[in-house]
Amino acid sequence: MSEGMTDRKQLSKGWMYGALGVMAVGFSLLIFMTVMAYKKAPPIPAKITDEAGLVLATGDQIAEGQGVFFKYGLMEHGTLWGHGAYLGPDYTASYLHREAEICREAESRSRFGKPFAELSPEEQTGVSGAVKKSLKENRYDVNSGVLVFTGGEAESLKTQEREWSDYFAKGAPGLPPGYVKHPEEIKALTAYLAWASWAASANRPGRTYSYTNNWPYEPIAGNGPSSQAYLWSALSLVFLLGGLGLMLFFFGKFNYLGWKGDEAETPAKMAPPAFSLTPSQRASGLYFLVVAALFLLQVLMGGALAHYKIEPNGFYGFDLAKYFPWTLLRTWHLQLAIFWIATSWVGGGLFLAPIIGGKEPKGQKYGVYALLGALAVVVFGSMAGEWLGLNDKLGSLWFWFGHQGSEYIDLGRFWQVLLAAGLVLWLILMFRALKPALSDPKKKEFSILFLLACAAIVVFYLPAFLWTAKTNFAVIDNWRFWIIHLWVEGFFELFATVLVAVMFTHMGLVSLRSATRVIYLDAILYLAGGLAGTAHHWYFTGEETVAMAIGACFSALEVVPLTLLTLDAWDFIKLQKAPCSECGEPLAHKQKWAIYFLMAVGFWNFVGAGIFGFLINLPIVSYFEMGTTLTPNHGHAAMFGVFGMLALAVSLYALRAMVSDEDWASIEKYFKTSFWGLNIGLALMIILNLFPAGVVQLYDVVQNGYAHARSLEFTQHGFFHESEWVRIIGDMTFILFGALPFAAGVVKLVTMRRKAPQSGHESA
């Protein structure tokens, strides 16, 4: 490590206290909401009866029905309370809409002895009003644990059991015929959907809104946005404007904030002496070969999934669903995204740690190889288990070895345990590599932050173990977003900042002191909104409106640091072009394409997470939008645009260090093509399909109700369906000119003779 990477003057302790204070407040609110989730979750009745006392379903059947929903990965087909996949229906909204229709017919026959369609407008209004009132009435007795259904609701349960049986028997969109075929499983699943629909329509005791805050929007069932959705949407804008104002004030007053740092802080020399890579650094090259392979496989699955939305039951005439149902491909598509991004960051951490530590621990490379083997077991073992589980070949062991059922956390519990063990091994390897720096006062603080960021990745995966298949869905979804939002969008984001800080200090673009300040600054800015802002996922998933209040206000603050990313991108450009009169060509020039990918991270973070994220985060917008195509519009731009681009940047940075300038010149074209292909392809996906189709679908929700906008009647016709065809331009650009060149370049780079560059890293 060069001398320029260590600064004698230490940062003020105020940065550390500020970060700790933000985390204390954020976690206090988060824990409070999680406790409330347990207390306020929609109750699961001991039994459901009709008005005569006849038992229609039991609590055990409802729990078994949730198990059926998870076992067959139906959350990777459609959604429940708005969360899940988008080819199938929202099972809650579909059941509720049909229930309201059946109840209207029952009420019409009871009152007038004829079908609803034959009633006069005045009679229809009276019947509709009675049905809405009946569905909003909560007839659950907390003392006996009995939920009483009206005659119409009881008839709906029996009718929909037959209808859902036919739905799966004939072959649902993207699923083969007989996907769920056992009668007892259909009966249990229908009971579960009846419970979820009841929780979405019946008012909470003492409230004027349902357990899901009146979601989904279903006019004929009396469900519309609550006053709280309007109130907290308005107040969240106050938090946004206040946060932006404070940010602009502090960045104006303290102009050294950000990557540019203080002019008095001298960066490292930009071209430190040549060196030979350590054995563990060379071993890490295999991680990036795995990254390229999994990335390409994940992208190809994404292309197949996009085609399912055009032909729900085929692939250019081939019955793909027979062998690879949508549930399986989407599971693999999401899971592989997490795997290849995490593999890149794990490999990047192992590559960068010796640069900070300054000494290779004995036997480190064997630990690096062992960890890669463990990751391979988890990746391919979990994929095989998911195939077996979804095909009903694991019996009662499906939750442990098959498909656990919760979107993004699909791998069976056994594979989760192995993954957690692998993360612990990675943390041990990182500690061994960074340990020498902990005794150096000049490097100690930076090294501790690096280790803490690694430890956070391990610790905040643990909530994935805090539920079972029979836990109340509202509680499951609470813990699930501790992973999806807090783990991925929170601490992954912080870990990413640390990786960038290490790369920039190593390239001599910033001083170690400036990099340390940026880590603290990002921790304060990202976690100030990101911790409590997790609750914006819980607006309509069975939690009280306190989650809406906290989530709306704090998620608005998440936009604040994202606006800074435009400044980051400009800083990256200036830093890359920074002159180096003392040492000739800067290392930043050698790492040109890694820096370009980092610039793309800044752009997509602002667009995907900032603009598209805030667009759907307001409660009143989320109420109508949740589960429409505007959700994957945000997801693709933020997930790949930010975390994916960063993973590719880290991979490219490490790989570039493994070849000579001459070898690099022969393969640079692959990564240049990939950079433009990935960015243009992603932009075309959004412009041609995801954003406009999402807007059209959102409009249909407002006009015709949520169930209609998610039905095949809407998704297979008109502009929405036509835009899915047009999207192929973006998909093919992304695959042919983005993913394929990157994979080809990595294969060539890793398989060629890995020579240390003549000028590059300093000796470790």
Question: Does 218 score more than 90 pLDDT?
Answer: yes
Per-residue confidence (pLDDT) for residue 265, from 0 to 100: 59
757 lies in some domain: no
Asked if residue 573 belongs to a domain, the reply is yes
Mean predicted confidence (pLDDT) in 563-583 = 56
Average pLDDT score over the chain:
89
Q: Are residues 218 and 239 in the same domain?
A: no
Note the pTM of the prediction, 2 decimals.
Answer: 0.92
Among 321-325, 513-517, 680-684, the minimum mean pLDDT is found in 513-517
Residue whose C-alpha is closest to residue 758's, from 275, 186, 279:
275
Q: Based on the domain organization, do 246 and 146 belong to the same domain? A: no
Query: Within this chain, do residues 274 and 220 fall inside the same structural domain, yes or no?
Result: no
Token pair 């009483």 in the structure block, residue: 148
* pLDDT value at 5 more than 50: no
Q: Are residues 216 and 331 in the same domain?
A: no
Q: Which residue has the tokens 């692959």?
A: 670
Same domain, 59 and 16: no
| Whether residues 687 and 566 fall in one domain | yes
SS3 state at 56: strand
Show which of 179, 195, 224 is a domain's final residue. 224
- CA distances to 283, 338, 564 from 483, rounded to whole Å, are 30, 12, 25
* Domain assignment present for 736: yes
Whether 761 is in a domain gets the answer: no
pLDDT confidence band for 759 (50 / 70 / 90): very low
d(CA 287, CA 341): 11
Q: Indicate the number of domains in the chain.
A: 2
240 with 214, same domain: the answer is no
Q: Are residues 656 and 679 in the same domain?
A: yes
Would residue 704 count as lying in a domain?
A: yes
Segment 703-728 mean pLDDT: 96
Nearest alpha-carbon partner for 433 in 360, 506, 365:
360
**Which of 194, 224, 254 is at the close of a domain?**
224
> What confidence score (pLDDT) does residue 7 get?
46
- Same-domain pairing of 370 and 274: yes
64 domain-assigned: yes
Q: Do residues 249 and 102 share a domain?
A: no
Interval 477-531: pLDDT, tens: 999 999 999 887 778 888 888 888 888 887 777 778 888 888 888 888 888 888 9
In a domain, 40, yes or no: no
Cα torsion through 416, 420, 426, 427, rounded to 10:
160
Boundaries of domain holding 134? 45-224
Which ranges of 585-715 would DSSP assign to H, the alpha helix?
A: 587-590, 592-604, 612-617, 619-625, 630-635, 645-656, 661-685, 691-704, 706-709, 712-715
Q: How high is the pLDDT of residue 391? A: 94
Strands 146-148 and 140-141: antiparallel
Nearest to 673 by CA among 736, 732, 730: 736
Q: Residues 322-348: what's their mean pLDDT?
A: 95
On whether both 616 and 698 belong to a single domain, the answer is yes
Instruction: Taking residues 85-113, report their average pLDDT.
Output: 96
Q: How confident is the model over 264-311, as pLDDT tens digits? A: 555 554 334 334 789 999 999 999 999 999 999 999 999 999 999 998
**For the ranges 142-151, 436-445, 523-532, 601-610, the one whose mean pLDDT is highest:** 142-151
Q: Say which DSSP state 6 is in.
A: -
Note whether 70 and 105 are same-domain residues.
yes
Please report the pLDDT score of residue 569 as a whole number: 55
Q: Is the residue at 764 inside a domain?
A: no
Burial track 628-638 (b if 16+ CB lie within 10 A, e otherwise):
bbbbbbbbbbb
CA-to-CA distance for 293 and 731, rounded, in angstroms? 18
Choosing from 224, 250, 270, the residue where a domain stops is 224
CATH number at residue 708: 1.20.210.10
Q: Average of pLDDT values for 44-69?
A: 97
Q: What is the CATH number of the domain that holds 119?
A: 1.10.760
Give pLDDT tens digits for 347-367.
999 999 998 888 899 999 999
